[in-house]
Amino acid sequence: MEKYVYLFHEGNGDKKELLGGKGANLAEMTRIGLPVPYGFTISTQACNAYYDSGKKIPALVEAQALEALSRLEEKMGKRLGDAQNPLLVSVRSGSVFSMPGMMDTVLNLGMNDETVVGMAKLTNNPRFAYDSYRRFIQMFSNVVLDIDTYYFEQFLEEVREHKGYSSDPEMSAEDWQEVIVGYKSIVKKHTRKEFPQDPKEQLFLAINAVFDSWNNQRAIVYRRLNKIPDHLGTAVNIQSMVFGNMGNDSGTGVAFTRNPSTGEHVLYGEYLINAQGEDVVAGIRTPQPIATLKDEMPEVYQQFTETCKRLEQHYQEMQDIEFTVERGKLFILQTRNGKRTAQAAIRIAVEMVAEGIIDKKTALLRVDPDQLNQLLHRRIDDKYQRTLLAKGLPASPGAATGQVVFDADEAEQLGNEGKKVILVRPETTPDDIHGIVASQAILTSRGGMTSHAAVVARGMGKACICGCEPLKIDLKAKQFTVGETVVKYRETITIDGSTGEIMLGEIPMIDPELSDEFQLLLAWADQERKIGVRANADNPEDAQKAFDFGAGGIGLCRTEHMFMDLKRIPIVQKMILAENYAERMEALDELLPMQQGDFEGIFEAMQGHPVTIRLLDPPLHEFLPDKEELLVEVTKLQILNPGSTELKEKELLLKKVRQLDEFNPMLGHRGCRLGMIFPEIYDMQAKAIFYAAAKLADKGMEVKPEIMIPLVGHVNELKEMRQLVVDAGVRIQEETGKQFDYTVGTMIEIPRAALTADQIAEEADFFSFGTNDLTQTTFGYSRDDAEGKFLQAYIEHKVLPDNPFAVLDQDGVGKLVEMGVKLGRGTKPTLKTGICGEHGGEKSSIDFCYRTGLDYVSCSPYRVPLARLAAAQATIRHENKEEVYTTA
Ligand code: PEP
Ligand code: MG
């Protein structure tokens, strides 16, 4: 018989797939003897069975849940629905991967008109009992009966106003009873039924609702963003309630065993006295920092710090712990690995090695390379004298400038139009997730460091400030005020999420530097990794940046980018428009010293490391004016100024632009096809490289140019272009009297090149896989159009798992890469291989490159640290695995 329901003592921490993260951790904590309120977990398999039976709880699941409930009742000595001694439970979702706030929770389940009386007697606290009942009605109605919380909030507000109270603590037991009557009539009005009184009916309705919440809109969006598979399903945890709202000797809170923002090894968290469950996370009241618990409840604090230490040692990971204190007794409700910023992830990993908790390899695997982006972003210039508008809690580090918006939909719309926006809200809820994604940063006037906004922003690496109370937000008027200052919709502000500071306008930012811990972690990565990391850089400044970030060479210098300079474009146009060889040579002679200067700068920056220079690639029309615009200008001149020299010049230009116009420029006269037809262009470039090499050789500096021929599809193209380069080399060595080493290789970026790599390798010293074009030509998707047209829909509808221009398609494009490497090395075992498409800076693609036996990956300078870490992770992950195809 299939087992669907597990009492806490029947599970353990390894059963995440079955029990969900929360359920497995509750079981594990029970196993190691921590004070966890007892309960049971309905498995993720039951969730799938629920969907398989057309959204009905299967009889077997129901029977097992009832059986577990009896065991729970026995253990607690209380019964669900018992008027004298009622058991109350929480019903919470819990999927395999944590999805904070995305699915539903019901607390205080089991309350009804009878049990509330029993609770009032038992606790000798009628006020508490009726408050709990009304909370339950509100939450249950929202989550299970789908009635908007707004109706309840509004009603409560009216009662409070009528009685002249300003806050909830002023409400008496009788007042809450009055609210309950009102709440029940709201339920009746919306559902045409009475509020369910039978606790078992309540329980199964709640279980249904939790299963359903697996497929609510925000959970679906969250899964898509975080690549969590839809088929996993959620478990449901049913746990006996403990109450943090039983008076001033009770409370509830969350804490991290280390600071999740900076990584500092201090207990970090917050709590609310006399509050329940979700109050802290919901960010509705601003909580107290955990340190003050030491004075308020010294014994509980002592027990809590010991428990935190124990949990961290047990899991060997920083923990995020939810706790409740009921009348001075501590309960642990949940523990999980804490989400953290990149800065914190690095510091925690490095310090845990120093503390002997984990080893270096584990530390390297602990930091997600994608997160490192956060640290490689710009921040506010230290020299800037800040004028603060206001200060809130520094909830997620980084600085951002943007226009103020007050609504998630608007943030999404403006963000999609390419505007930089900052979402400003009193607090955020999981329904705002799409707006958060589209914003540069988040700013809230309420809520603490563990509020929804803070947790989500940290996860996404976005700057965030929370609990900025001086900010008075008027959502209707679309503005906020701080004292006298009014900031209106779409005015620009800058926020610093590391300090909590808010400033008006745009503020100067500076480039990032790597912290000591980051450098140390990367040094460990370099010791481990068995695949090189280079950078794509086209000018000396980028090359310097790449070198500073630890690149072991340049894997791609796109020489056409060197021509894009405003001063150079007219000369390039002259080269393109030349009517004959002599005219073209004149332009090329002007370009040569410019290119040479750039090459010298790049060689110098790279201090003897290899530099792969690719000869000119792009379609020539990219350097010429737009055809349509030119046509308009010519037509205007024909009417207004016929016979003018300007008209003649423009007509000539138009003629040439038309000649060069192609239906499909990406498959047109680009890459080596250009060099084949106009060899003098490649000849000029080869000479510029060699003159630069000769000059540096003269200064005693080492240079390693690797000259790369783009878009080769047939070995004969490479043969011819290689000869051209070699001839230029001989000439320049003779002319300068200097010797220098160089190699000639090719990009593999056309399927035919991969398919005939054995032939191409005869003429190549190295291969560099241009996976941008290889993806374009393998899929037959235009890389200029696909992402803006159909690709997004393909990804949303799961036709494709990822954007293949960002994440290498290992099954298709990857096969061509594997074939290229194998065939190429079959001909030439010493053939050097690398990748220089965008994929060279993406972690799963780097893992593939390592497994395929490439010698290096190459990516943009800012991604070099990420690639060094991802390369180390790939090496560690596949250590001792046979599938790794290694070079000789
Ligand atoms: C490639 O095609 O992968 C490549 C690196 O070249 P480019 O992006 O310049 O076409
Ligand atoms: Mg290319």
Residue of the CA atom closest to atom 1 of ligand 1: 770
C-alpha closest to that of 446 among 281, 266, 608, 264: 281
Ligand 1 atom closest to the Cα of residue 710 is 6
User: Region 819-835: what's the mean pLDDT?
Assistant: 98
- Find out whether 614 is annotated in a ligand binding site: yes
Whether the predicted pLDDT of 430 surpasses 80: no
Higher pLDDT, 675 or 275: 675
C-alpha closest to that of 840 among 556, 648, 415: 556
Q: Could you tell me the distance, in angstroms and rounded to a whole number, from the CA of residue 488 to the centre of ligand 2?
A: 46
Say how far apart CA 28 and CA 464 lie, in whole Å: 33
Q: What pLDDT is stored for residue 491 in this prediction?
A: 96
Per-domain residue ranges of the chain: 247-340, 378-510, 559-619+672-745, 622-661
Residue of the CA atom closest to atom 9 of ligand 1: 558
Residue type, 277: G
Q: What pLDDT is stored for residue 102 in this prediction?
A: 66
Q: What pLDDT is stored for residue 459 in this prediction?
A: 62
User: Region 297-317: what's the mean pLDDT?
Assistant: 94
pLDDT digits (tens, 9 = 90+) for 358-380: 999 999 999 999 888 778 766 88
| Residue 311: band (very low, low, confident or very high) from pLDDT cuts 50, 70, 90 | very high
Give the active site residues.
452, 836
Say how far apart CA 471 and CA 479 lie, in whole Å: 10
Q: What pLDDT is stored for residue 881 in this prediction?
A: 65
pLDDT digits (tens, 9 = 90+) for 634-680: 999 999 999 999 999 889 889 888 888 888 888 999 999 999 999 99
pLDDT digits (tens, 9 = 90+) for 707-753: 999 999 999 999 999 999 999 999 999 999 999 999 999 999 999 99
DSSP 8-state secondary structure symbol assigned to residue 309:
H
CATH architecture for the domain at 559-619+672-745 = Alpha-Beta Barrel (3.20)
pLDDT digits (tens, 9 = 90+) for 788-805: 779 888 988 889 999 899
Whether the predicted pLDDT of 628 surpasses 60: yes
- Read off φ and ψ for residue 657, nearest 5 degrees: -60, -40
- Find out whether 505 is annotated in a ligand binding site: no
If you compute the radius of gyration of the chain from its CA atoms, what whole number of angstroms results?
33
Q: Could you tell me the distance, in angstroms and rounded to a whole number, from the CA of residue 538 to the centre of ligand 1?
A: 13
Q: What pLDDT is stored for residue 277 in this prediction?
A: 66
Torsional sign, CA 305, 310, 315, 316: positive
Q: 584, 578 in Cβ contact below 8 A?
A: yes
The mean pLDDT value of the chain amounts to 91
Whether the predicted pLDDT of 756 surpasses 70: yes
- Find out whether 81 is annotated in a ligand binding site: no
C-alpha closest to that of 388 among 507, 474, 490: 507
Which CATH number applies to 378-510: 3.40.462.10, 3.50.30.10, 3.30.450.150, 2.60.120.10? 3.50.30.10
Residue of the CA atom closest to atom 10 of ligand 1: 773
- Token pair in block for residue 270: 């917050």
Whether the predicted pLDDT of 883 surpasses 60: no
Ligand 1 atom closest to the Cα of residue 768 is 5
Say how far apart CA 506 and CA 648 lie, in whole Å: 46
pLDDT digits (tens, 9 = 90+) for 531-543: 999 999 988 988 9
Q: What pLDDT is stored for residue 184 in this prediction?
A: 97
Say how far apart CA 519 and CA 549 lie, in whole Å: 9
DSSP for 125-168?
Answer: -HHHHHHHHHHHHHHHHHHTS---HHHHHHHHHHHHHHHT-SSG
Say how far apart CA 434 and CA 505 lie, in whole Å: 25
Mutational test site, ligand 1, from 772, 784, 813, 838, max ligand atoms within 8 Å of CB: 772
pLDDT digits (tens, 9 = 90+) for 488-545: 999 999 999 888 999 999 998 877 778 899 999 999 999 999 999 999 998 898 899 8
User: Region 329-352: what's the mean pLDDT?
Assistant: 93
Q: What pLDDT is stored for residue 417 in this prediction?
A: 86
Say how far apart CA 466 and CA 203 lie, in whole Å: 35
| Side-by-side strand order, sheet with 105-109 | 5-7, 39-42, 234-240, 89-95, 105-109
Ligand 1, residues at Cβ distance < 6 Å: 556, 558, 617, 749, 770-773, 836-837
Ligand 1 atom closest to the Cα of residue 536 is 5
CATH of domain 247-340: 3.30.470.20
Residue of the CA atom closest to atom 3 of ligand 1: 770
pLDDT digits (tens, 9 = 90+) for 769-790: 999 999 999 999 988 788 777 9
* Angle at alpha carbon of residue 183, lines to 177 and 189, rounded to 5°: 145
User: Region 20-28: what's the mean pLDDT?
Assistant: 93
pLDDT digits (tens, 9 = 90+) for 177-229: 999 999 999 999 999 999 999 999 999 999 999 999 999 888 888 888 888 88
| Residue 887: band (very low, low, confident or very high) from pLDDT cuts 50, 70, 90 | very low
Q: What pLDDT is stored for residue 626 in this prediction?
A: 79
Q: Could you tell me the distance, in angstroms and rounded to a whole number, from the CA of residue 768 to the centre of ligand 2?
A: 10
* Same fold yes or no, 247-340 and 378-510: no
Residues of the chain with pLDDT > 90, as a percent, come to: 71
pTM of the predicted protein model? 0.78
pLDDT digits (tens, 9 = 90+) for 154-170: 999 899 999 998 778 78
Strand (E) or helix (H) holding 299? helix 298-315
Say how far apart CA 741 and CA 725 lie, in whole Å: 13
- Find out whether 490 is annotated in a ligand binding site: no
Q: Could you tell me the distance, in angstroms and rounded to a whole number, from the CA of residue 264 to the centre of ligand 1?
A: 42
Q: What pLDDT is stored for residue 884 in this prediction?
A: 45
Q: Could you tell me the distance, in angstroms and rounded to a whole number, from the CA of residue 710 to the centre of ligand 2?
A: 7
Residue of the CA atom closest to atom 4 of ligand 1: 770
Q: What pLDDT is stored for residue 677 in this prediction?
A: 93
| Residue 285: band (very low, low, confident or very high) from pLDDT cuts 50, 70, 90 | low
C-alpha closest to that of 239 among 485, 25, 470, 555: 25
- Find out whether 773 is annotated in a ligand binding site: yes
Q: What pLDDT is stored for residue 751 in this prediction?
A: 98
In this structure, are strands 832-835 and 479-482 parallel, antiparallel, or unpaired? unpaired
